[in-house]
Amino acid sequence: MDEGQLPDESPAPPRYAEELEIALAALDGEEQAVQAVKAILDDPALRRWLVARGASAAEADELFGDLLTDCFAGRKKSGEMNRLLGRYNGACKLQNFLRRVVLNRFIDRKRRAPDVVSLPTESDEDDGRGGRELAAPSGIDSEDAISQILVDAVRRAFASVDQEKLVLFRLFHSYQISQQRIAAMWGWHYSKVSRALTGLCEELRDGIMAEVRQADPWLQLEWEDFVDLCGDSLDLFDY
Protein backbone atom coordinates (compact mmCIF):
# COMPACT_ATOMS: atom_id res chain seq x y z
CA MET A 1 0.00 0.00 0.00
CA ASP A 2 1.37 3.42 -0.96
CA GLU A 3 2.15 5.81 1.85
CA GLY A 4 -0.86 7.91 2.70
CA GLN A 5 -3.25 5.58 0.87
CA LEU A 6 -6.31 4.71 2.92
CA PRO A 7 -7.07 1.01 3.45
CA ASP A 8 -9.92 -0.49 1.50
CA GLU A 9 -12.91 -0.35 3.84
CA SER A 10 -15.47 -1.65 1.37
CA PRO A 11 -17.70 -4.31 2.94
CA ALA A 12 -16.95 -7.95 2.25
CA PRO A 13 -19.31 -9.61 -0.24
CA PRO A 14 -22.14 -11.62 1.35
CA ARG A 15 -21.46 -15.29 1.89
CA TYR A 16 -24.31 -16.33 -0.41
CA ALA A 17 -23.99 -13.58 -3.00
CA GLU A 18 -25.56 -15.64 -5.81
CA GLU A 19 -28.68 -16.33 -3.76
CA LEU A 20 -28.89 -12.65 -2.83
CA GLU A 21 -28.80 -11.80 -6.54
CA ILE A 22 -31.73 -14.18 -7.09
CA ALA A 23 -33.71 -12.53 -4.29
CA LEU A 24 -33.04 -9.04 -5.64
CA ALA A 25 -33.94 -10.12 -9.15
CA ALA A 26 -37.18 -11.64 -7.85
CA LEU A 27 -38.04 -8.36 -6.14
CA ASP A 28 -37.52 -6.66 -9.52
CA GLY A 29 -40.02 -9.06 -11.05
CA GLU A 30 -37.61 -11.19 -13.10
CA GLU A 31 -39.68 -14.26 -13.90
CA GLN A 32 -36.92 -16.88 -13.57
CA ALA A 33 -35.88 -15.53 -10.15
CA VAL A 34 -39.51 -15.35 -8.98
CA GLN A 35 -40.00 -18.99 -9.95
CA ALA A 36 -36.81 -19.95 -8.09
CA VAL A 37 -38.14 -18.38 -4.86
CA LYS A 38 -41.56 -19.98 -5.37
CA ALA A 39 -39.92 -23.36 -5.92
CA ILE A 40 -38.31 -23.12 -2.48
CA LEU A 41 -41.60 -22.24 -0.80
CA ASP A 42 -43.60 -24.85 -2.74
CA ASP A 43 -41.21 -27.67 -1.87
CA PRO A 44 -43.27 -30.32 0.02
CA ALA A 45 -40.16 -31.17 2.05
CA LEU A 46 -40.30 -27.70 3.60
CA ARG A 47 -43.88 -28.23 4.74
CA ARG A 48 -43.00 -31.65 6.12
CA TRP A 49 -40.12 -30.00 8.01
CA LEU A 50 -42.50 -27.54 9.70
CA VAL A 51 -45.04 -30.28 10.48
CA ALA A 52 -42.24 -32.29 12.12
CA ARG A 53 -41.60 -29.25 14.36
CA GLY A 54 -45.15 -29.29 15.70
CA ALA A 55 -47.33 -27.58 13.08
CA SER A 56 -50.44 -29.17 11.61
CA ALA A 57 -50.62 -29.65 7.85
CA ALA A 58 -53.24 -26.88 7.66
CA GLU A 59 -51.03 -24.52 9.68
CA ALA A 60 -48.05 -25.26 7.44
CA ASP A 61 -50.07 -24.56 4.28
CA GLU A 62 -51.40 -21.30 5.70
CA LEU A 63 -48.04 -20.10 6.99
CA PHE A 64 -46.22 -20.82 3.74
CA GLY A 65 -49.04 -19.25 1.74
CA ASP A 66 -48.73 -16.07 3.78
CA LEU A 67 -44.97 -16.20 3.43
CA LEU A 68 -45.16 -16.32 -0.35
CA THR A 69 -47.48 -13.32 -0.39
CA ASP A 70 -45.30 -11.32 2.01
CA CYS A 71 -42.14 -12.08 0.01
CA PHE A 72 -43.43 -10.09 -2.95
CA ALA A 73 -46.49 -8.09 -1.86
CA GLY A 74 -45.42 -7.40 1.70
CA ARG A 75 -47.23 -5.64 4.48
CA LYS A 76 -47.80 -1.99 5.16
CA LYS A 77 -45.30 -0.69 7.71
CA SER A 78 -44.82 3.00 8.54
CA GLY A 79 -46.76 3.92 5.43
CA GLU A 80 -44.44 1.96 3.13
CA MET A 81 -44.65 -1.48 1.61
CA ASN A 82 -42.33 -3.82 3.54
CA ARG A 83 -41.55 -6.82 1.35
CA LEU A 84 -40.13 -9.75 3.29
CA LEU A 85 -37.69 -10.78 0.58
CA GLY A 86 -36.07 -7.35 0.87
CA ARG A 87 -34.80 -8.28 4.33
CA TYR A 88 -32.65 -11.12 3.00
CA ASN A 89 -28.97 -10.11 2.98
CA GLY A 90 -27.16 -13.22 1.74
CA ALA A 91 -25.61 -14.07 5.12
CA CYS A 92 -27.24 -17.51 5.03
CA LYS A 93 -28.91 -19.66 2.40
CA LEU A 94 -32.20 -18.23 1.16
CA GLN A 95 -34.00 -21.43 2.15
CA ASN A 96 -32.68 -21.14 5.71
CA PHE A 97 -33.79 -17.50 5.85
CA LEU A 98 -37.31 -18.47 4.80
CA ARG A 99 -37.35 -21.41 7.20
CA ARG A 100 -36.34 -19.12 10.03
CA VAL A 101 -39.09 -16.63 9.22
CA VAL A 102 -41.81 -19.26 8.99
CA LEU A 103 -40.63 -20.94 12.19
CA ASN A 104 -40.69 -17.60 14.02
CA ARG A 105 -44.23 -17.01 12.81
CA PHE A 106 -45.28 -20.49 13.86
CA ILE A 107 -43.82 -19.99 17.35
CA ASP A 108 -45.48 -16.59 17.64
CA ARG A 109 -48.84 -18.07 16.61
CA LYS A 110 -48.64 -20.93 19.11
CA ARG A 111 -47.62 -18.60 21.92
CA ARG A 112 -50.48 -16.22 21.21
CA ALA A 113 -53.13 -18.91 20.89
CA PRO A 114 -53.29 -20.12 24.53
CA ASP A 115 -52.99 -16.62 26.01
CA VAL A 116 -56.18 -16.27 28.03
CA VAL A 117 -56.89 -14.43 31.24
CA SER A 118 -59.78 -14.96 33.58
CA LEU A 119 -61.88 -11.90 34.39
CA PRO A 120 -64.12 -12.09 37.46
CA THR A 121 -67.85 -11.61 37.07
CA GLU A 122 -69.87 -9.85 39.72
CA SER A 123 -71.11 -13.14 41.18
CA ASP A 124 -67.59 -14.55 41.30
CA GLU A 125 -65.91 -11.67 43.10
CA ASP A 126 -67.34 -12.60 46.49
CA ASP A 127 -66.48 -16.30 46.47
CA GLY A 128 -63.06 -15.92 44.84
CA ARG A 129 -63.83 -18.08 41.82
CA GLY A 130 -62.53 -17.27 38.36
CA GLY A 131 -64.90 -15.72 35.88
CA ARG A 132 -65.20 -15.61 32.12
CA GLU A 133 -62.15 -16.06 29.92
CA LEU A 134 -60.90 -13.36 27.57
CA ALA A 135 -58.06 -13.63 25.08
CA ALA A 136 -55.11 -11.55 26.27
CA PRO A 137 -53.25 -9.43 23.72
CA SER A 138 -49.62 -10.26 23.12
CA GLY A 139 -47.19 -7.70 24.47
CA ILE A 140 -44.78 -7.75 21.54
CA ASP A 141 -44.73 -8.89 17.97
CA SER A 142 -42.02 -11.51 17.92
CA GLU A 143 -39.72 -10.92 14.94
CA ASP A 144 -37.07 -13.45 15.94
CA ALA A 145 -38.60 -15.81 18.48
CA ILE A 146 -36.22 -18.65 17.64
CA SER A 147 -33.17 -16.56 18.60
CA GLN A 148 -34.71 -15.64 21.95
CA ILE A 149 -35.57 -19.27 22.62
CA LEU A 150 -31.96 -20.26 21.95
CA VAL A 151 -30.48 -17.39 23.98
CA ASP A 152 -32.63 -18.20 27.02
CA ALA A 153 -31.93 -21.95 26.73
CA VAL A 154 -28.16 -21.39 26.36
CA ARG A 155 -28.03 -19.15 29.42
CA ARG A 156 -29.87 -21.67 31.58
CA ALA A 157 -27.85 -24.61 30.27
CA PHE A 158 -24.51 -22.85 30.91
CA ALA A 159 -25.64 -21.89 34.41
CA SER A 160 -26.30 -25.54 35.28
CA VAL A 161 -22.98 -27.15 34.27
CA ASP A 162 -19.90 -27.84 36.38
CA GLN A 163 -18.00 -24.57 36.79
CA GLU A 164 -14.52 -26.11 36.50
CA LYS A 165 -15.43 -27.62 33.13
CA LEU A 166 -16.89 -24.26 32.13
CA VAL A 167 -13.55 -22.60 32.87
CA LEU A 168 -11.85 -25.11 30.54
CA PHE A 169 -14.47 -24.39 27.90
CA ARG A 170 -13.88 -20.64 28.10
CA LEU A 171 -10.09 -20.94 28.09
CA PHE A 172 -10.20 -23.08 24.97
CA HIS A 173 -12.99 -21.32 23.01
CA SER A 174 -12.87 -17.72 24.24
CA TYR A 175 -9.14 -17.27 24.91
CA GLN A 176 -7.85 -19.72 22.26
CA ILE A 177 -5.58 -21.52 24.73
CA SER A 178 -4.52 -24.90 23.39
CA GLN A 179 -5.63 -28.13 25.02
CA GLN A 180 -1.97 -29.03 25.61
CA ARG A 181 -1.40 -25.82 27.58
CA ILE A 182 -4.62 -26.30 29.56
CA ALA A 183 -3.48 -29.83 30.42
CA ALA A 184 -0.19 -28.45 31.74
CA MET A 185 -2.01 -25.77 33.78
CA TRP A 186 -4.37 -28.33 35.36
CA GLY A 187 -1.78 -31.07 35.73
CA TRP A 188 -3.92 -33.35 33.60
CA HIS A 189 -3.11 -35.61 30.69
CA TYR A 190 -4.02 -34.06 27.34
CA SER A 191 -6.63 -36.77 26.71
CA LYS A 192 -8.44 -35.89 29.95
CA VAL A 193 -8.84 -32.27 28.80
CA SER A 194 -10.14 -33.46 25.44
CA ARG A 195 -12.65 -35.79 27.10
CA ALA A 196 -13.76 -33.04 29.49
CA LEU A 197 -14.41 -30.60 26.66
CA THR A 198 -16.20 -33.20 24.53
CA GLY A 199 -18.33 -34.26 27.47
CA LEU A 200 -19.20 -30.68 28.34
CA CYS A 201 -20.27 -29.90 24.77
CA GLU A 202 -22.53 -32.95 24.76
CA GLU A 203 -23.92 -31.94 28.16
CA LEU A 204 -24.58 -28.40 26.93
CA ARG A 205 -26.29 -29.62 23.76
CA ASP A 206 -28.55 -31.91 25.79
CA GLY A 207 -29.18 -29.18 28.35
CA ILE A 208 -30.06 -26.58 25.72
CA MET A 209 -32.55 -28.90 24.03
CA ALA A 210 -34.07 -29.86 27.38
CA GLU A 211 -34.56 -26.17 28.23
CA VAL A 212 -36.19 -25.55 24.84
CA ARG A 213 -38.62 -28.44 25.30
CA GLN A 214 -39.44 -27.35 28.83
CA ALA A 215 -40.17 -23.79 27.69
CA ASP A 216 -42.24 -24.81 24.65
CA PRO A 217 -43.26 -28.51 24.88
CA TRP A 218 -45.22 -28.32 21.61
CA LEU A 219 -42.16 -27.15 19.65
CA GLN A 220 -40.37 -30.20 18.22
CA LEU A 221 -36.96 -28.69 17.45
CA GLU A 222 -33.79 -30.71 16.93
CA TRP A 223 -30.20 -29.58 17.42
CA GLU A 224 -29.72 -29.56 13.65
CA ASP A 225 -32.43 -26.89 13.42
CA PHE A 226 -30.35 -24.53 15.54
CA VAL A 227 -27.26 -25.29 13.47
CA ASP A 228 -29.13 -24.55 10.23
CA LEU A 229 -30.89 -21.46 11.56
CA CYS A 230 -28.03 -19.93 13.56
CA GLY A 231 -25.10 -20.94 11.37
CA ASP A 232 -21.44 -20.61 12.27
CA SER A 233 -22.12 -19.27 15.77
CA LEU A 234 -22.74 -22.87 16.91
CA ASP A 235 -19.54 -24.33 15.48
CA LEU A 236 -17.96 -24.40 18.96
CA PHE A 237 -20.19 -27.38 19.80
CA ASP A 238 -18.76 -29.48 16.98
CA TYR A 239 -16.41 -32.13 18.35
pLDDT band (50, 70, 90) for residue 116: very low
pLDDT at 2: 54
Phi-psi region of 79 (alpha: psi -120 to 50; beta: other; left: phi over 0): left
Report how many domains make up the chain.
2
pLDDT at 154: 87
Same domain, 94 and 161: no
Residue 71 pLDDT more than 70?
yes
pLDDT at 40: 94
Residue 63 pLDDT more than 90?
yes
* 132 within some domain: no
Same domain, 106 and 150: no
Is the Cβ–Cβ distance between 120 and 154 less than 8 Å?
no
Report the 10 Å Cβ neighbour count for 152. 14
Q: List, for residues 17-44, the tens digit of each pLDDT value.
A: 999 999 999 999 999 999 999 999 999 9
pLDDT at 73: 79
With a CB cutoff of 8 Å and minimum separation 6, the contacts of 238 are none
Q: List, for residues 191-229, the tens digit of each pLDDT value.
A: 999 999 999 999 999 998 898 888 778 788 888 877 776
pTM: 0.65
**Spatial CA neighbour of 186 closest among 201, 164, 205:** 164
More reliable by pLDDT, 75 or 126: 75
Within its chain, how far is the Cα of 64 from the centroid? 17
* 133 within some domain: no
Q: List, for residues 121-136, the tens digit of each pLDDT value.
A: 344 444 443 333 333 3
Per-residue pLDDT averaged across 156-184, rounded?
90
Percentage of the chain beyond pLDDT 90 is 41
Average pLDDT, the chain: 78
| Residue 27 lies in domain | 17-112
* 205 within some domain: yes
Same domain, 99 and 149: no
How far apart are the C-alpha atoms of 207 and 223, rounded to whole Å?
Answer: 11
* 220 within some domain: yes
Q: Which of 91, 112, 133 is the last residue of a domain?
A: 112
pLDDT at 113: 67
Same domain, 29 and 74: yes
* 106 within some domain: yes
pLDDT band (50, 70, 90) for residue 117: very low
